[in-house]
């Protein structure tokens, strides 16, 4: 029906205008700014229907309309085309990310870039340990009965733990241990590291067996558990800027949730590489986020997402542009990490 189609067109226009002006949008303003081909009165009828269906709402009688979460959802799902980035923007991304010296640096640059591009809070997850593989394991003797274990993953992430051993260890044992561990674990995915332990224990020479057991258990406990997945956050100043109005006055619950990390981490890690995921307002179960939207995507190669990244902002955001930015940045980051 041409009828329904125009109504959706009206919704799209409302979302676009509201996002750019931050004022509730009325029928007359809509008719002026968009070529809908009908009069304000007709638009009013459409708006009444859209309101009844729950896509828009008025803050108070005799004010313009504002999209609801449901309205944004429909807009994102059906009414928006992902806006391709400008050449300048693509170039900026490349320039920004080139020359990073290590993983920490790559992710730091990424988060700054994303925050700058979208003018929202940017969030980048460290490559998940559980999806990485062991590149190298290093054992360093710290004191007589103390070892430091350093794990280097194929994604460039480095993790360390100190292990207290029951008895003193001599340097030769450390070297042997290093060789043993590396031959057992190098190239093995962290999720599968546990399977290798029985084998390892069996093949280990008797005098090392206790040591190997202690070290392996620390390794599994502390490194394979995904508890320690980290998050880099940037652009929080964007919250405090004009956007403060979008969060009924105070941004501090949101800042707290961001610092808490765990909530955002859970949301951001539920992603596939390639498909941008948008969560709008109330769709976020967590209370502090009900006024916010998340735009997230996984990075890494298609078959193997290393982690997630994205942005957090008010529901009133420019979804098409932000989705494009998030996707493009994720693509570049994936490339860079694949190279190293």
Q: Which of 8, 38, 174, 208 is close enough to bind DNA by CB under 7 A?
A: 38
Confirm or reject binding of residue 50 to DNA (CB under 7 A): no
Closer Cβ to a copy of itself, 61 or 250, answer by number: 250
Of the candidates 214, 219, 212, 245, the one whose C-alpha atom is nearest the C-alpha of residue 151 is 219
Please count the residues of this chain forming the interface with a copy of itself, following the rule CB under 8 A: 37
Angle formed at CA 249 by CA 243 and CA 251, multiple of 5 degrees: 65
For 298, phi then psi, to 5°, come to: -90, 150
Return the residue of 170, 225, 256, 287 that touches a copy of itself, per CB under 8 A.
256
Q: Which of 4, 54, 63, 205 binds DNA (CB under 7 A)?
A: 63
Binding segment for a copy of itself (CB under 8 A), chosen from 60-68, 149-157, 274-282, 293-301, is: 149-157
Segment lying near a copy of itself (by CB under 8 A), choices 17-25, 83-91, 153-161, 296-304: 153-161
Query: Between residues 44 and 230, which has the closer beta carbon with respect to DNA?
Result: 44
CB atoms within 10 A of CB 62: 6
- What residues between 142 and 171 interact with DNA by CB under 7 A? none
102 touching a copy of itself, by CB under 8 A: yes
* 282, 290 contact by CB (below 8 A): yes
Asked if residue 293 binds DNA (CB under 7 A), the reply is no
Q: Please provide the distance, in angstroms rounded to a whole number, between the alpha carbons at the two ends of the chain.
A: 54
Binding status of residue 335 toward a copy of itself by CB under 8 A:
no
Of 310, 263, 315, which Cα lies nearest the Cα of 292? Answer: 315
CB distance 143 to 132 below 8 Å: no
Query: How many CA within 13 A on the CB side of residue 255?
Result: 10
**Only segment of 57-65, 151-159, 272-280, 328-336 that touches a copy of itself (CB under 8 A):** 151-159
CB distance 65 to 51 below 8 Å: yes
> According to the binding rule CB under 8 A, does residue 148 interact with a copy of itself?
yes
């Amino acid at each position: 029906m041409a009828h329904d189609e125009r109504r959706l067109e009206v919704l799209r226009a409302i979302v676009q205008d509201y996002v750019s002006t931050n004022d509730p949008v009325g029928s007359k303003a809509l008719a002026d700014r968009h070529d809908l081909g009908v009069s304000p009165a007709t638009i009013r009828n459409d708006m009444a229907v859209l309101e009844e269906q729950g896509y828009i709402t008025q803050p108070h009688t005799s004010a313009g309309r504002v999209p609801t979460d449901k309205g944004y959802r429909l807009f994102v799902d059906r009414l928006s085309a992902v806006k391709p980035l400008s050449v300048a923007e693509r170039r900026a991304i490349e320039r920004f990310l080139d020359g990073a010296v290590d993983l920490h640096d790559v992710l730091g640059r990424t988060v700054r870039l994303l925050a700058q591009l979208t003018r929202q809070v940017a969030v980048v997850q460290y490559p998940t340990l559980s999806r990485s593989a062991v590149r190298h394991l290093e054992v360093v003797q710290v004191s007589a009965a103390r070892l430091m274990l350093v794990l280097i993953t194929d994604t460039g992430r480095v993790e360390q733990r100190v292990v207290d051993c029951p008895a003193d260890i001599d340097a030769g044992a450390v070297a042997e241990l290093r060789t043993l561990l590396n031959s057992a674990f190098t190239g093995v995915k962290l999720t599968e590291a546990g399977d290798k332990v029985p084998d390892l224990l069996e093949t280990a020479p008797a005098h090392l067996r206790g040591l190997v057991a202690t070290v392996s258990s620390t390794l599994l406990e502390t490194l394979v558990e995904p508890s320690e997945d980290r998050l880099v956050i940037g652009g929080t100043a964007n919250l405090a800027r004009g956007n403060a109005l979008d969060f009924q006055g105070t941004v501090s619950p949101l800042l707290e949730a961001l610092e808490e990390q765990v909530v955002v981490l859970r949301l951001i890690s539920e992603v596939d590489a390639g498909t941008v995921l948008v969560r709008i307002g109330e769709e976020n179960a967590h209370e502090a986020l009900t006024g916010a939207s998340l735009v997230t995507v996984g990075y890494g190669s298609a078959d193997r997402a290393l982690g997630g990244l994205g942005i957090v902002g008010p529901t009133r955001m420019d979804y098409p542009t932000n989705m494009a930015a998030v996707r493009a940045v994720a693509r570049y980051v994936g490339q860079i990490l694949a190279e190293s």
